[in-house]
Structure 1
Amino acid sequence: MTAREVGLPATVPLPTRGDLPERVTIWEVGARDGLQNEDTVVPVETKLEFLDRLADAGLSVLEATSFVHPKWVPQLADAEQLLAGLRQRDGVSYPVLVPNERGLDRALAAGVRHIAIFASATETFANRNLNRSLDEQFAMFDPVVTRARAEGLDVRGYLSMCFGDPWEGPVAAEQVVKVGHRLLDMGCSQLSLGDTIGVATPGQVETVLDGFGSIDALAVHFHDTYGQALANTLAALRCGVSTVDSSAGGLGGCPYAESATGNLATEDLVWMLDGLGVRHGVNLDALADTSAWMAEQLGRPSPSRVVRALRG
Structure 2
Amino acid sequence: MRADRLVAALLLLQGRGRVTAAALAAELEVSVATARRDLEALSAAGIPVYPQAGRGGGWQLLGGARTDLTGLTAPEARALFLLLGPASAAAPPARAALRKLVRALPGTFRAEAAAAADAVVVDRAGWGERARDRPELDVLLDAVVGRRVVEFGYAGRGAAPARRRAEPWGLVDKDGTWYLVAGTAAGRRTFRVDRITDVTGTGEVFERPAGLDLPGVWDEVVGEIERRRSLVTASVRAPARLVPVLRDRFGRHCAVGGGPDGDGWVALEVAAHTARSVAEQLAGFGGAVDVLDPAAVRAELAALGAELVAAHGG
TM-score, structure 1 as length reference: 0.22
TM-score by length of 2: 0.22
RCO (CA 8 Å, sep 6+): is it higher in 1 or 2?
A: 1
**Structure richer in strand, relative to its length:** 2
Query: Which has the larger Rg?
Result: 2
Higher helix content, 1 or 2: 2
